[in-house]
Amino acid sequence: MAVQFHLTKKLKLKNPVLIEGFPGMGLVGTISASYLVDKLNMDFVGYLTSEDFPPLAAIHNHVPMFPARLYASKKYNLIVLLSEFIVPVKAVNELAHEIYEFANKNKVSQIVSLGAIVQKSAGEKSVFAVATNGKLLKELESHRSVEIVKEGVTTGVTGVLLARGTIDKYPVVSFLAQASKDYMDPRAAANVLGVLREYLNLKHLNVHSLELEAQEVEGKMKELMGKAKANEEHYKKTVKDAVSNDLGAMYR
């Protein structure tokens, strides 16, 4: 069965921005999109289905929901599409096509993708950007916190949307925060949302609670790493003592 959009409410927006967030590196896309929905008090307006999607329900506040959902805000003129599952490879092209068609049908002014790349160096800018036309690139260059990607590869739904947007001269932007590949990274999500706030002038978007969550996650990771290191040292000492005792016994 094809990917289908199911609207539970009629969209009454004029040239809105469509923001999409899918799980990937550090779960940045999903964390960012979910945070937007929560903090901007966006309304649930629909969901997506496909036989290629995993058979599951996401449960929030005791309510089972489809894991790929649409939210909208008339106040901020935004639509958010988020997914709580990794899109199967065989569904990527079709899903990207349907998102693109949905955007055209609803006269979306631009598509903005939120995601992440592997963290390389703390000294580099924390958020990178890719855009489909020169006008967008010039606008992005004015944001000092963003580095424009000149060469590279971007994959998945976002990659397909960017490629098609370039051909059709349709505005698509991707913001990619440097993130951990080993665990969820709320700090990277806060970084990408900070850039989005500036880019779309979302003055009321406060990322403070995400930053606090990031501190908590980082604190737990440091604690776990400290325990792991202590356990490793203890193991090495135990093995060394055991070997010494065994060798000593041989020569008694």
The predicted-structure confidence for 198-220, as pLDDT tens digits, reads as follows: 999 998 888 877 777 766 655 55
pTM score of the predicted model: 0.84
- Burial label for 202, CB within 10 Å (0-12, 13-18, 19+), is middle
Q: Decide if 78 contacts 72 (C-beta within 8 A).
A: yes
Give yes or no for residue 223 having a pLDDT over 70: no
110-137 burial: b if 16+ Cβ within 10 Å, else e? bbbbbbbbebeeeeebbbbbbbbeeebe
| Position 180, amino acid | S
User: Which pLDDT value is given to residue 160?
Assistant: 96
Give yes or no for residue 125 having a pLDDT over 50: yes
User: What number does CATH give the domain 4-205?
Assistant: 3.40.50.10900
Tens-place pLDDT, residues 156-197: 999 999 999 999 999 999 999 998 877 788 888 999 999 999
Tens-place pLDDT, residues 46-56: 999 999 999 99
Give yes or no for residue 235 having a pLDDT over 50: no
Break the chain into its structural domains and give their ranges.
Answer: 4-205, 207-252
Q: Decide if 129 contacts 148 (C-beta within 8 A).
A: yes
Mean pLDDT for 229-248 is 53
User: Which pLDDT value is given to residue 182?
Assistant: 79
